[in-house]
Chain A
Amino acid sequence: MNSLYLTTAEQTLFLALPQKIQEGWKVEAENISYEESEAKQRVRCKFMKLSPKIQKSMSSVASAVSPEGMEKWVASLDLQSLTDDDIRELFYALGPVSIGRILERTIPLVQSDTDLEAVAAIAVLRHVIFTPLKK
Chain B
Amino acid sequence: MAPRADDQRKNGRAGTSEVPEQFDGKLDQIAQLLDGGRENDAAERARLAVSLTNTKDREILASSIADRLIELKDQLERNAVYHHDFFEVQPGEDLLTHIRTVVDERIGRQILNEANRGTFASSLAEAIAHDPEALTKIQQYYPDFTWDPKQGDEALVHALEQRFVKDFSDQAEALKKELELEAEVALEKSDVLERVKDKKGMFTWATEKVKAIWAKKSVRVATYVVVGVAATLLIAWGASYLLAYLQGLHAAALEGTAAAIEGATEAGGALAPVSGLEGAGSVITGGLPSAPPIPNIWIGEPVL
| Chain A residues engaging chain B, CB cutoff 8 angstroms | 1, 7-8, 30-49, 51, 54-55, 57-58, 61-62, 64-67, 70-71, 73-75, 77, 79-80, 82, 84, 87-88, 90, 92-94, 96-102, 104-106, 109-111, 114-115, 117-122, 124-125, 127-129, 131-133
Complex CA distance for A38 and B283, rounded to whole angstroms: 10
Task: Tell me if B300 is interfacial: C-beta within 8 Å of chain A.
Answer: yes
B232–A90 CB distance below 8 A: yes
**Which segment of B117-125, B135-143, B145-153, B206-214 sits at the interface?**
B206-214
Chain B, 64-106, CB within 8 A of any chain A CB: 92-94
- Per DSSP, chain B at the interface is helix
**Which segment of B8-16, B41-49, B254-262 sits at the interface?**
B254-262
B274–A109 CB distance below 8 A: yes
Task: Tell me if B155 is interfacial: C-beta within 8 Å of chain A.
Answer: no
B207–A84 CB distance below 8 A: yes
Among A32, A33, A67, the residue within 8 A (CB) of B253 is: A67
Complex CA distance for A96 and B195, rounded to whole angstroms: 15
Greatest chain A CB density within 10 A among B93, B196, B229, B235 is at B229
Chain B interface residue count, Cβ-Cβ cutoff 8 angstroms: 81
If A33-B304, A82-B211, A117-B209 touch, whether A102 touches B279 (CB-CB below 8 Å) is yes
A129–B192 CB distance below 8 A: yes
A128–B206 CB distance below 8 A: yes
A121–B279 CB distance below 8 A: no
A125–B229 CB distance below 8 A: no
B220–A93 CB distance below 8 A: no
Complex CA distance for A98 and B233, rounded to whole angstroms: 14
Complex CA distance for A34 and B195, rounded to whole angstroms: 15
A42–B235 CB distance below 8 A: yes
Binary flags per residue of B176-212, CB closer than 8 Å to A gives 1, else 0: 0010011011100101101110110011111101110
If A79-B214, A93-B232, A121-B213 touch, whether A55 touches B195 (CB-CB below 8 Å) is no
Q: List 29 A-B residue pairs with CB atoms under 8 Å apart, sorted by A's residue number.
A: A34-B299, A36-B294, A42-B239, A46-B239, A46-B240, A57-B233, A58-B237, A65-B245, A66-B253, A67-B256, A71-B260, A73-B230, A74-B261, A77-B226, A77-B229, A77-B230, A87-B207, A87-B211, A88-B192, A90-B229, A94-B232, A100-B304, A101-B280, A101-B283, A102-B283, A105-B224, A120-B209, A124-B203, A131-B195
* A119 CB to nearest chain B CB (Å): 6
A115–B220 CB distance below 8 A: yes
Complex CA distance for A64 and B235, rounded to whole angstroms: 12
A36–B178 CB distance below 8 A: no
Chain B, 278-293, CB within 8 A of any chain A CB: 279-280, 283-284, 286-287, 293
Complex CA distance for A29 and B189, rounded to whole angstroms: 24
B232: A residues at CB distance < 8 A: 45, 48, 90, 93-94, 98
- Per DSSP, chain A at the interface is helix
B204: A residues at CB distance < 8 A: 84
Complex CA distance for A10 and B273, rounded to whole angstroms: 22
* B229 CB to nearest chain A CB (Å): 5
B199–A128 CB distance below 8 A: yes
* A105 CB to nearest chain B CB (Å): 3
A106–B221 CB distance below 8 A: yes
A61–B233 CB distance below 8 A: yes
Chain B, 224-254, CB within 8 A of any chain A CB: 224-230, 232-240, 245-246, 248-249, 252-254
